[in-house]
Structure 1
Amino acid sequence: MKDGLAHQRVWQLPSYVRRVPTGGEKGKFLAVDLGGSNCRICLVNLHGDSTFTTIQSKHSVPPGVMVNPSSRPLFDFIGHRIADFLATQPDLCSSRGLRNSNQQPYQLGFTFSFTCEQTSLASGRLIHWDKGWDIPEAIGRDPCQMLQDAIDCLRLPVVVTVLANDGVGTLLTRSYTSGPTASTLAAIIFGTGTNAAYVEKLSNVRRVSGETKPDGIMVMNTEWGCFDDQMEVLPRTSFDDELDRASADSGTQMMEKRVSGLYLGELLRLIILDLLRGNAFTMTCSNASRAFQRDGIDSSFLSELAKAGRDHAERAIQLIEDTLSAENVSEADAQAIQLIATAIARRAARLAGASLASIIIQSGRLEMSPDGAPEPEYSMHRIQRFTSDMALLWRRLLRLAGIGSPIGKPPVPIQPLKSKWDNIIDIGADGSLIEFYPSFETEMRGAMRDVPEVGPAGEQRVRISMAKDGSGVGAALMAQAASEVET
């Protein structure tokens, strides 16, 4: 993290968001949320009281658009979905005069959940694809401009005003809904892919020249899915290597390939396939089984196995039979597959927990107040502790000199002082993995406790709250912020 703050890397990317919402923001804004295999078109109405309402349409991105030598099919697809959305919202158009070219068009925030190096709030450069996408022509180009070109070809009254990232958007949404007192530090995403964003001191972001405001902040897009692509510390198995070799982005996104929902099901499939070929199971699978199909097992299968538990063998057996088209599944087979699935998910959650711990440590929030200054109560406590220690030392010196203690009673022990904001470190979260896998957050927290700099006391201060579909609302919040800058 420190290396990425100081040098031009493909991680620790500045978002150019220099303030977080307070909950008082108002207005209607369009948003496009592109990530994984889905595209959502949203109209977000910010009410100004930490609440919002959305109207949205959700579309599956065709596989031929996700992997294509040309970028035009993708952005034409998004442009047509925007046009369809506007056509189904006549009140939306008439309320803003969108049928009249003399009226102001809607501002749109574009959440583009792939690695981009932003050059401003409204522009950036695509560095690489992940999550199974591969569109070579788009590399090095600005996603906002490509989307705007598609919108202009359709003569839509829409202007793309901000480029957002799913982690950054979720952080802004959580900050908006929690209000000004929560001081949200970060957002974490565990869906098809994984990522995190957090609030960093602007003075630490040395990779951005000219940004020297001492009390300023910068929301950072960590792109932690590519942390340790050199494989210096990440765990490694033959199944990890096999999955990586078969991926569209071999050699990159190594942490994501151990944590995100896109890959956990495939890891389980590769292990089951190895055991089937080694005749380790009683069960048999037909040639049409998902066990023999690449990406045939979804990560939701791991969640369902976990929910079945060890005490409901019949339920687990039925689930395996239905998912893998398997026959003669024994209780031992079911227990073995459950054990493997649990190990895969536990490793993912603990890697996620260790990574979140790194954000908390880097932020300094374990010893800092929400406004970035040393917490007064904490500083006073240290002064009181120092005074108490000096008094004890003085007593010992006098006793050694045979003079006796001038203090009639021992010093009052220092009691832990509670902060007025209760020391909460607020984290927003989104993604099906953390939402639906039963023990994902529990395992995350276990890893955080094992990090000495955080420990049990620090982990107890962390509040993780779901900010579902936060990336689209976050893009609207960024569009709102951009509109204020323009005015």
Structure 2
Amino acid sequence: MRQARDIIREECEVFHLSEKQCREIMSRLHNDLVKGLGKDSHANSIVKCWITYIQDLPNGKERGKFLALDLGGTNFRVLIINLGENHFDMQSKIYAIPNHIMTGTGIALFDHIAECLANFMKEHFVYEERLALGFTFSFPLKQLGLTKGILQRWTKGFSCSGVVGEDVVQGLKDAIARRGDVQIDICAILNDTTGTLMSCAWKNHNCKIGLIVGTGSNACYVEKTENCELFDGEPGKPELLINTEWGAFGDDGTLDFVRTEFDRDVDVNSINPGKQIQEKMISGMYMGELVRLALVKYTRMGLLFGGRGSDLLYERGNFYTKYVSEIESDKPGDYTSCMEVLEELGLSHATEADMAGVRHVCECVSRRAAHLVSAGIATLLNKMAEPRVTVGIDGSVYRFHPHFHTLMCEKIAQLVRPGIQFDLMLSEDGSGRGAALVAAVACREREVQA
């Protein structure tokens, strides 16, 4: 009789992406990027390739005091950054966004943010000063200028009314004006991938791609201005930063050939069915749930836990993505973290064979995520065709998963064209510092033009 272990391994093959499949994904993504950049094809494109209006990267000569606001999930950060010669001093504070505000009105959201900004300025003794602010806003954004961005749709559990289709910079400006007690000049709005790229580029001038693999997944990259048919800004600068919004890749069915029953289950039961299909195969918001669904199936098949699951295992959302990182951090043959996780889930009757099975499922799901991201990065590297590019990366999955970096390095090297060299750089506090740097570069450019 075949052992449960072998059947689990066979079942998990659905998560395996062959090199041929990866190359097919790359070809489809490349076509979608070209569509997103094209004037006539953009309206019907899935991967939107929004123009960021950022054409200048940091050169290390930026100086001064800047504020940054980083809004991208259930909390947001306010930062003050003092840029000196090749060094910076940064202080920040995290503020929560209560659930009733996440699902309330846009006015309430921006009033809450403005209040926290004012409190922060008081605490850091800059309440009387007029400061430039860079605003990282990590939701799908159509930019119409460096300080004008229209929210396309909410993601990540937000549903504030009266904001979709509106300029979020104006929303924040209005809230600051309603208070009337602080002077803040919003110099730029950007998303977290752009912030990550800018932050890494300050240290490493080869950084031309920004990547987030966290709650969501997205990438931005430096494109030749001539390829950006929708750009209506100042001509003359050769490069332009593009925010791909590649989380939506697959929304038209292009990834169906590699999706599993578990992916379909996650999607159908999500807050936004049919949207952000690639993101749902990669990001931290869904990775744990994919593992849980597979574990439930294998338990019901009698392959795990003697066929006896637990109420906690059978309930949606209870297998956190951090569990995947913890379980895979154990040394081979050691199941300390795995045992702790299973005990938390009411599965203390798990045997060592069960734990090996659970770890295998985690490895298959996270490896697939790393390979999907790698196919995306290799597509961008091949499209840019530069001899050497640094990829600046941030996000909890990349930061905390023990093997994600190595899996990506190996896979990108396999998929990228010969002669293209790349390295992956962990962004230190990217989206916050990056926002301040975008504001600093905008101020620097204003002075140059003045």
Class of the TM-score when normalised by the shorter of the 2 chains: 0.7 to 0.9
Q: 1:341 to 1:329 in 2, by over 3 A?
A: same
Counterpart of 2:225 in structure 1: which amino acid? L
Query: CA shift at 1:129, angstroms?
Result: 1.7
- The residue that corresponds to 1:339 in the other structure is 360
Query: CA shift at 1:314, angstroms?
Result: 4.4
- The residue that corresponds to 2:218 in the other structure is 195
Query: CA shift at 1:210, angstroms?
Result: 6.3
* Structure 1: distance between partners of 2:224 and 2:389: 16
Query: CA shift at 1:256, angstroms?
Result: 0.6
Q: Is the 8 A contact 2:409 2:424 kept in 1?
A: no
Name which of 270, 274, 283 aligns with 2:297: 274
Is 2:109 the counterpart of 1:109? Answer: no
Gaps of 5+ in 1: 99-104, 367-423
* Structure 1: distance between partners of 2:164 and 2:337: 46
- The residue that corresponds to 1:71 in the other structure is 106
Query: CA shift at 1:275, angstroms?
Result: 3.1
- The residue that corresponds to 2:16 in the other structure is none
Q: Is the 8 A contact 1:170 1:187 kept in 2?
A: yes
Name which of 311, 329, 333 aligns with 1:311: 333
- Which structure's relative contact order is higher, taking Cα pairs within 8 Å and 6+ residues apart? 2
- The residue that corresponds to 1:413 in the other structure is none
**Secondary structure of 2:189's aligned partner:** strand
Query: CA shift at 1:67, angstroms?
Result: 2.8
**Secondary structure of 1:273's aligned partner:** helix
- The residue that corresponds to 1:384 in the other structure is none
Is 2:172 the counterpart of 1:172? Answer: no
Name which of 367, 391, 403 aligns with 1:439: 403
Q: Is the 8 A contact 2:296 2:309 kept in 1?
A: no
* Structure 1: distance between partners of 2:353 and 2:413: 33
Q: Superposition RMSD on alpha carbons, in Å?
A: 1.9
Range that drifts further, 202-211 or 339-348: 202-211
Name which of 381, 385, 392 aligns with 1:360: 381
Is 2:246 the counterpart of 1:224? Answer: yes
* Structure 1: distance between partners of 2:85 and 2:195: 17
Q: Is the 8 A contact 2:299 2:305 kept in 1?
A: no
- The residue that corresponds to 2:281 in the other structure is 258
Query: CA shift at 1:77, angstroms?
Result: 1.9
* Structure 1: distance between partners of 2:35 and 2:73: 28
Query: CA shift at 1:136, angstroms?
Result: 4.4
Range that drifts further, 109-118 or 270-279: 270-279
Q: 1:124 to 1:45 in 2, by over 3 A?
A: same
Query: CA shift at 1:63, angstroms?
Result: 2.3
- The residue that corresponds to 1:102 in the other structure is none
Query: CA shift at 1:185, angstroms?
Result: 1.4
Query: CA shift at 1:276, angstroms?
Result: 3.5
- The residue that corresponds to 1:56 in the other structure is 92
**Secondary structure of 2:442's aligned partner:** helix
- The residue that corresponds to 2:393 in the other structure is 429
- The residue that corresponds to 2:119 in the other structure is 84
How do 1:454-469 residues align onto structure 2 when only pairs under 5 Å count?
454=417, 458=420, 461-469=421-429
Q: What whole-Å deviation, never above 9, does each CA across 1:380-416 have from its counterpart, x for those lacking one?
A: xxxxxxxxxxxxxxxxxxxxxxxxxxxxxxxxxxxxx
Range that drifts further, 198-207 or 224-233: 224-233
- The residue that corresponds to 1:148 in the other structure is 173
Is 2:38 the counterpart of 1:24? Answer: no
- The residue that corresponds to 1:448 in the other structure is 412
Range that drifts further, 130-139 or 331-340: 130-139
Query: CA shift at 1:282, angstroms?
Result: 2.3
Counterpart of 1:81 in structure 2: which amino acid? C
Q: Is the 8 A contact 1:11 1:227 kept in 2?
A: no
Query: CA shift at 1:315, angstroms?
Result: 4.3
Q: Is the 8 A contact 1:265 1:297 kept in 2?
A: yes
**Secondary structure of 1:188's aligned partner:** strand
**Secondary structure of 1:435's aligned partner:** helix
- The residue that corresponds to 2:149 in the other structure is 124
Q: Is the 8 A contact 1:168 1:187 kept in 2?
A: yes
Query: CA shift at 1:469, angstroms?
Result: 1.7
Q: Is the 8 A contact 1:431 1:468 kept in 2?
A: no
Q: TM-score, normalised by structure 1?
A: 0.79
Q: Is the 8 A contact 1:132 1:249 kept in 2?
A: no
Q: TM-score, normalised by structure 2?
A: 0.86
Q: Is the 8 A contact 1:121 1:163 kept in 2?
A: yes
Q: Is the 8 A contact 1:13 1:220 kept in 2?
A: yes
Q: Is the 8 A contact 2:327 2:335 kept in 1?
A: no
Is 2:320 the counterpart of 1:298? Answer: yes
Q: What whole-Å deviation, never above 9, does each CA across 1:124-154 have from its counterpart, x for those lacking one?
A: 1111122232234211011111111111222
Gaps of 5+ in 2: 1-32
Q: Is the 8 A contact 1:125 1:141 kept in 2?
A: yes
Q: What is the aligned-residue identity percentage?
A: 32
**Secondary structure of 1:312's aligned partner:** coil
Query: CA shift at 1:485, angstroms?
Result: 4.1
Q: What whole-Å deviation, never above 9, does each CA across 1:10-30 have from its counterpart, x for those lacking one?
A: 621111001111111111111
- The residue that corresponds to 1:373 in the other structure is none
Query: CA shift at 1:285, angstroms?
Result: 4.9
How many residues are treated as equivalent by the alignment? Answer: 407
Q: Is the 8 A contact 1:31 1:476 kept in 2?
A: yes
Q: What whole-Å deviation, never above 9, does each CA across 1:422-448 have from its counterpart, x for those lacking one?
A: xx4211111121122111122222322
Counterpart of 2:244 in structure 1: which amino acid? T
